[in-house]
Amino acid sequence: MAQATLSNRNARVGAIALLISVAMLGMGYAAVPLYRLFCQVTGFAGTTQRASDADAATAARLARSAGAPTISVRFDANVERGMPWDFKPKQVTDTVQIGQRDMAVFSARNNSGHAITGTATFNVEPEQAGAYFNKIQCFCFTEQTLQAGQEVDMPVLYYIDPKALDDPNMKDVEQITLSYTFHEAKEPAS
């Protein structure tokens, strides 16, 4: 009798340990997409927001009614080491009214003798500005393929959400930096 009870307890402990192991493995696989989603929703770590034209129109109305101030936006462009592209902003800084749509244009040139597909990662500094930096259209949303010697202009349509004016952490922010780094796509989308 005591032997059967001990076997049942051991089986139960083993089953619980197995369930915990499977749950931890599942959370390990889910961690990256969940973290990415968290950053996109909250702007954590300088992650910018995606917005629609309707969102931008609403922000513009709010900004006009509030008499929103201007803010300086600096553009930074980089390529990963060994990637044979030139990549730079057409204009290094711009002064924009908070809530108003604006466009920045970046130039990219493939200096190699073959087509290269790149993908851009981005960040906003200071970190707290990421929650208010909204991109409507951006080359960073998709992979970019440049043929040998090809040069292209890549626009970013964006606005700064007027809600930034109500955030005490944004009170002393005079300039926001939007930074991109192009990486060669490991397996270009077909």
pLDDT, tens digit (0-9, with 9 covering 90-100), for 113-124: 999 999 999 999
**Of 120, 179, 122, nearest to 146 (Cα)?**
120
pLDDT band at 75 (very low <50, low <70, confident <90, very high): very high
What pLDDT, in 10s, does the model give residues 109-168? Answer: 999 999 999 999 999 999 999 989 999 899 988 999 999 999 999 999 999 998 898 999
Q: Which fold has domain 46-184?
A: Ctag/Cox11 (Pfam 04442) (2.60.370)
Task: Note the pTM of the prediction, 2 decimals.
Answer: 0.67
Domain spans of the chain, in order of start:
1-42, 46-184
Pairing of strands 70-79, 151-160: unpaired
Residue 154, pLDDT score: 96
Pairing outcome for strands 85-89 and 151-160: unpaired
Give the pLDDT score at 46.
45
| Residue 151, pLDDT score | 97
Q: What confidence score (pLDDT) does residue 18 get? A: 85
**Tens of pLDDT, residues 24-62:** 887 776 665 665 555 555 545 445 555 555 555 555 555
